[in-house]
Chain A
Amino acid sequence: EAQVTQNPRYLITVTGKKLTVTCSQNMNHEYMSWYRQDPGLGLRQIYYSMNVEVTDKGDVPEGYKVSRKEKRNFPLILESPSPNQTSLYFCASSLAGYYNEQFFGPGTRLTVL
């Protein structure tokens, strides 16, 4: 089944404890992206990647890192999480080209205490 998977789906952690949220897609998509969603603020892009080893900042990159060493994987790293990073996170992917939709993962609900 073609899909975008994220792990973990739910995570409660404490301030300063490094964590990684994994994202993987099995559709051979070039483009991948991370978003966070907070009540009343819509989807805000954190980082995106056009292909392997190519990443760019989105609107809210502070406090996050990403890497794209393989085409299928795009992990999101929080080196020192803080409570203001408590949010619902979505990973998404798309084929390159203008006329291809973006597919979303199921989301990761992160709480930082």
Chain B
Amino acid sequence: QKEVEQNSGPLSVPEGAIASLNCTYSDRGSQSFFWYRQYSGKSPELIMFIYSNGDKEDGRFTAQLNKASQYVSLLIRDSQPSDSATYLCAVKDYGQNFVFGPGTRLSVLP
């Protein structure tokens, strides 16, 4: 069974700090990797995606991918209370189906 794992949290960081969210996946055939943010009771919304090894930056967000280690991470710089949400890691497998991790709950303390 293809698995995507994340620490469930909650991860608490002070306002202005860097939040680091991690995700590992079991299927080496996975092709692309997505980070979604979900507020309670709302639908997930895409933050960013990555498909090549290395770093990808978009504003305060940086995604990092290491396919050899089957590891993807999301860094949030200058964390704000509005970043408090659940962050879902999703992997698109070789068959083009999405597999989601359980999510990490982030709490940014003012």
Give chain A's interface residues, CB within 8 Å of chain B.
Answer: 31, 33, 35, 40-43, 45, 48, 50, 56, 88, 90, 92, 94, 96-99, 101-102, 104-107
Number of cross-chain contacts by CB at 8 Å: 55
Min CB–CB distance B78 → chain A (angstroms) = 24
Please report the total number of B residues contacting A with Cβ < 8 Å: 23
A94: which B residues are within 8 A, CB to CB? Answer: 98
Residues of chain B within 8 A (CB-CB) of A102 are 34, 46, 90, 98
Contact partners of A40 in chain B: CB under 8 A:
8
Of the A-B pairs whose beta carbons lie under 8 Å apart in the complex, a sample of 15, sorted by A's number, is A42-B100, A42-B103, A43-B44, A43-B100, A43-B103, A45-B100, A50-B96, A56-B97, A92-B98, A98-B32, A98-B92, A99-B51, A102-B34, A105-B43, A106-B43
Please pick, from A33, A42, A45, A92, the residue contacting B102 in the complex, using a CB distance under 8 A: A42
CB atoms of B101 and A42 under 8 A apart: yes
Interface centre among B92, B98, B100, B103 (most CB of A within 10 A): B98
Beta-carbon contact of A98 and B102 below 8 Å: no
**Contact, CB under 8 Å: B43 / A107:** yes
Q: Which of B41, B88, B96 is close to A98, meaning CB atoms less than 8 Å apart?
A: B96
